[in-house]
Structure 1
Amino acid sequence: MITRRSLLATAATGAGLLACPAVLRAQSPKVLKLSHQFPGGTIDQGDARDRIARRFGQAVEQRTGGSLQVQVYPTSSLMKTLAQFSAVRKGALDMSLVPLSYAGGEVVETNLALMPALVSSYEQAARWRTARIGEELAKTLSDKGVIILTWVWQSGAVASRVKPILEPGDVKGVKIRGGGREMDMMFQAAGGIVSTMPSSEMYIGMQTGALEAAVSASTSLISFRLDEMTKNLTAGRGRSFWFILEPLIMSKATFDALTPEQRQAVRDVGQEMEAFSFEAAKADDEEIVKIYAARGAKVHDLTDAHIAKWKELARDTAWKDFSAKNARCAELLKLAEQVA
């Protein structure tokens, strides 16, 4: 029999639950959606970018006592590849791990993230976050509605169905994918026939003959199985003229809506992921050599002399064009050049 006393007791219990944030967090965790274009796997196996996303999610959930969870959607299963950055900016998507140069048409300053021969080693790339360039690039993105949580850098390799690509003269007459506007501009100046497409479409490009060579992160060239069609591989181990920033990003609207404790957790975990991201990228730079060589591809390494030629061409083409876009672009490029 339900009495007035039992009803009051039930109401009091409910009020107690509402007054207890810990109980609410346990009952109703905030779930963040993280979309990326790379193949899915597990927290220990598969594409390094997917593993970074999953490790981040696991660590954030642990750090926040379950009040914050991250659902990872690989292979652009939640949202198309080129729509992800814009969606993060607008708050329509919580998080992404995305090649920052893909946003160049929307935020021109992001083309700095794949500026040819600007970064040539992981040691140089690692200095960006704490250098002035890192502060200013992060501010530019924050002003556009995007927060950088993890600075993920990847060295680039060149998969070629034709001759090896080592210096600018080698791309003349070759149908090549550079991965970004500035890279494509440099290849065009060297006589290359540029094809524009996201890395997820490289395989079909090589398969149909639309591409003869593709430059991308070692991780991508492994994940997207270009070894099946490659005769010559220019490895990105140790040094490269192609380094890309593919950060783990969060919508500023999402970030601002978190509790102070949650914001601190995602900041801390994001920075902690950086060490793993570098280790994974370097490991893939070595792994790609084994995989492609096993398929019969000839492996070539870049020398300092090769990179110097790319840098000379890049200064006269991509760098010059980027600096002329606006004063902010010119300022960012100068700051990046200061990082030895």
Structure 2
Amino acid sequence: MKFAPLFSIGAIAALSLIGCSNQSDGDASAMSSQETTTLRFSHFWPATSSINKEVFEPWAKQIETDSNGRLKVELYPSATLSKADVTYEAAAKGTIDIGSQAHGYTSGRFPLTQIAELPGLSSSSTQTGCMLQTLYEDGTIASEYKDSHILFMYATGPGALHSTNKLIRTPEDMKGMRIRRPSAVAGDIIESMGASPVGLPANDMYTSLQRGVVDGLSFPWEAVTTFKIDELTKYHTNIPFYSSALMVTMNQGSYDKLPDDLKKVIDSNSGMALAKKVGEVFDKHDDIALQAAIDKGDQVIEVPDPLNDPDWKGPLEKGTQKYLSDVNTLGLDADGVYEKAKAASIACKV
């Protein structure tokens, strides 16, 4: 009987310890659920660019706000964390968590997606971005991204022609010129004009023009000011020569390990709304950059509908058919995707 109280005290103490242990585990679990996950986002655009300041920075802040601080996106502009042409692969392999890259920087990697870049399909960044997101969401091009988690597609505005020493009025004027080619699509078209396409990342364009490595380039107007190309070029042919497709993608493992509520934060800040947001920013700055060139006194000519222009129609169609034929030879249905892209173009027309 003398031991009963001692046992009771011991039992109470043990239960107390168990209770404390459970409470501690619960607190640890609660604390763990509030820990901050940092996602590293690499892209090639300069820190001062409109897309970084007006899209990526607000997007990162929105992710942090919507997650109550449990998600933080660290931005690495100017290709400081991954080179411009390997950013998609870096995200797919987990070297980075999120990346943005132009599809054309890895030739042949996204042949179906780049069909949306062909001339005549779009006249604005908003329209091309909508086309790309539509083709991804309906499964037309989704097979090209099985190794990654796409957050949203986007596009620059149409690439006009800009040169340092002469005005390009017709395709004949391009013969013998060295023109920077942003993608295989634009490369085929440049070649069909009799010019020599030169592959260069956007970050290398300024020094290449400065040193005479190239005579000109096909570049969206917004990018002309972003990469300071306006300091070196004074002749501009405002023609929708091609469009440039880009994406923001996330490492699948980085996405999968997030709890469901944080996945929803990522999901709600992805998709068509973001594609259109980027388009609005690019279209606005395209207009600003074009007006700046005019105000500066540069020579600018307009070719708004080249597929119905007698000088430009033939070479543009030749370049288009070459690209589609090359993709068909890979055993892919380039013609079918082209038809779907045209339908999406109409549906996305602003």
TM range (shorter): 0.7 to 0.9
Q: What corresponds to 1:36 in structure 2?
A: 43
Task: Tell me the distance in 1 between the aligned counterparts of 2:184 and 2:117.
Answer: 8
**1:193 Cα deviation after fit:** 1.5
Q: What corresponds to 1:90 in structure 2?
A: 93
Aligned partner of 1:332: which letter? V
- Range moving further from structure 2, 307-316 or 165-174: 307-316
Task: Tell me the distance in 1 between the aligned counterparts of 2:168 and 2:263.
Answer: 44
Task: Tell me the distance in 1 between the aligned counterparts of 2:129 and 2:184.
Answer: 23
**1:338 Cα deviation after fit:** 3.0
Which residue, 116, 119, 124 being the options, matches 2:122?
119
**1:35 Cα deviation after fit:** 0.4
Q: What corresponds to 1:102 in structure 2?
A: 105
Aligned partner of 2:268: which letter? D
C-alpha contact (below 8 Å) 1:235/1:285 kept by paired residues: no
Which residue, 20, 29, 32 being the options, matches 1:24?
32
Question: Secondary structure of the equivalent of 2:41?
Answer: strand
Question: Secondary structure of the equivalent of 1:151?
Answer: strand
Give RMSD over aligned pairs: 2.7
5+ residue gaps, structure 2, are: 1-12
Task: Tell me the distance in 2 between the aligned counterparts of 1:309 and 1:265.
Answer: 48
Aligned partner of 2:32: which letter? L
Tell me: CA distance 1:199–1:18, structure 2 relative to 1, closer, same or farther (3 Å). same
Question: Secondary structure of the equivalent of 2:292?
Answer: helix
Residues 270-281 of structure 1 mapped to structure 2, 5 A cutoff: 270-271=270-271, 272-281=273-282
Q: What corresponds to 2:324 in structure 1?
A: 319
**1:168 Cα deviation after fit:** 3.0
2:82 is aligned with 1:79: yes
Question: Secondary structure of the equivalent of 2:236?
Answer: strand
- Range moving further from structure 2, 302-311 or 148-157: 302-311
**1:15 Cα deviation after fit:** 1.8
Tell me: CA distance 1:225–1:90, structure 2 relative to 1, closer, same or farther (3 Å). same
Tell me: CA distance 1:166–1:243, structure 2 relative to 1, closer, same or farther (3 Å). farther
Q: What corresponds to 2:149 in structure 1?
A: 147
TM-score scaled to structure 2, two decimals? 0.83
Task: Tell me the distance in 2 between the aligned counterparts of 1:207 and 1:268.
Answer: 43
Tell me: CA distance 1:135–1:92, structure 2 relative to 1, closer, same or farther (3 Å). farther
Residues 159-174 of structure 1 mapped to structure 2, 5 A cutoff: 159-165=162-168, 167-174=170-177
Aligned residues: 326
Task: Tell me the distance in 2 between the aligned counterparts of 1:71 and 1:95.
Answer: 10
Task: Tell me the distance in 1 between the aligned counterparts of 2:53 and 2:42.
Answer: 10
Question: Secondary structure of the equivalent of 1:283?
Answer: helix
Computing the radius of gyration from Cα coordinates, the structure with the larger value is 2
Residues 1-340 of structure 1 mapped to structure 2, 5 A cutoff: 14-20=24-30, 23-26=31-34, 28-41=35-48, 46-49=49-52, 51-112=54-115, 114-122=117-125, 124-129=127-132, 131-132=134-135, 134-143=137-146, 145-155=147-157, 156-165=159-168, 167-235=170-238, 240-271=240-271, 272-304=273-305, 305-306=308-309, 308-309=313-314, 311-339=316-344, 340=346
Aligned partner of 1:251: which letter? N
Question: Secondary structure of the equivalent of 2:81?
Answer: coil
Question: Secondary structure of the equivalent of 1:183?
Answer: helix
Tell me: CA distance 1:199–1:142, structure 2 relative to 1, closer, same or farther (3 Å). same
Aligned partner of 2:79: which letter? S
Tell me: CA distance 1:147–1:171, structure 2 relative to 1, closer, same or farther (3 Å). farther
C-alpha contact (below 8 Å) 2:103/2:110 kept by paired residues: no
**Cα displacement string for residues 196-233 of structure 1 (whole angstroms, at most 9, x for unaligned residues):** 10111110110000111111232221111111111212
- Range moving further from structure 2, 326-335 or 193-202: 326-335
Aligned partner of 1:319: which letter? L
Aligned partner of 2:254: which letter? T
**1:179 Cα deviation after fit:** 0.4
Tell me: CA distance 1:331–1:260, structure 2 relative to 1, closer, same or farther (3 Å). farther
Question: Secondary structure of the equivalent of 2:138?
Answer: helix
Tell me: CA distance 1:141–1:9, structure 2 relative to 1, closer, same or farther (3 Å). same
